[in-house]
Amino acid sequence: MAEGWQDLEFLRHVFDETRVVRKPLTGIITGYHVLPYILIGPEHDQPGHSVEVRGRIKVSPRLVIAAGDGGPTYGEMFKETELMDQRLVARLFSFRYASRVALESDELRIRRQARDAHGHLERILEELTQREVINTGVIVSPDVRFYPVSIDRFIREILDQEFRD
C-alpha cells in the first residue's frame, strides 16, 4: 500500500470519486469546534463488505489577517495591489490518521462491516435521520485505505461552501 501514496494519478482518482453524501446542516461555526464525519467504502480485500471510519475534525476559528485602519495596507506590506483582497481568511483543520484498519479511540474509530458499502451507507443515513443528527458529514470513498484523501475532499467542499458567502 505504501506505493499507492506515491501514485498521484491514483490519489487524484480517489479524490475525484469521493462523494460527500451529506454535509453538516449546522454550517461552520465561527469559533473553535469539532466537525464529526462518517466515511464508508468497500473493503479492499472483500468488496462485498465495507469499512466504516468515524472521526472528528478539529476546526480552528477563522483566522483573519486584515490591514488595520492605522497600519499599512495588505498591498503596502506585500508589495501587491491588484491580485489579493485586503484581508486573508483561513481555517486550520486537523484529524487523526491511522494506517491500520483495526483502531478505536476517542478521536477515530475504524470498523469492518459485513454488509456492502451501499447497504451500510443506507443504514448510516437512516440512523442519523432517526437520531436527528445534523452536525455529521457522511462521505463515500472509493478506497478506504486512502481515507485521508477523501477527508481532504470533504474539507474542501465545506470550505467552498463557507467562503462562497
Nearest in space to 53 (alpha carbons), one of 146, 162, 165, 161? 146
Look at residue 155 in the predicted model and tell me its pLDDT: 86
Annotated domain spans of the chain: 2-61+91-163
Strand partners, 57: 35
Q: Enter the C-alpha cell of residue 10.
A: 491514483
Strand partners, 39: 53, 139
Burial class (CB in 10 A: 0-12, 13-18, 19+), 81: exposed
Look at residue 88 in the predicted model and tell me its pLDDT: 47
Triad 23, 26, 30: Cα angle to 5°: 110
DSSP letter, residue 58: E
Q: Enter the C-alpha cell of residue 48.
A: 462485498
Q: What is the pTM of this model?
A: 0.70
| pLDDT tens, per residue, the chain with 165 residues | 456 677 789 889 999 999 999 988 755 555 667 889 999 999 988 889 999 999 888 776 655 555 445 555 555 555 555 554 445 445 455 555 544 444 445 677 888 899 999 999 999 999 999 999 998 999 999 998 888 889 889 988 887 766 665
Rounded to whole angstroms, how far apart are CA atoms 128 and 34?
17
Look at residue 111 in the predicted model and tell me its pLDDT: 87
Rounded to whole angstroms, how far apart are CA atoms 124 and 38?
8
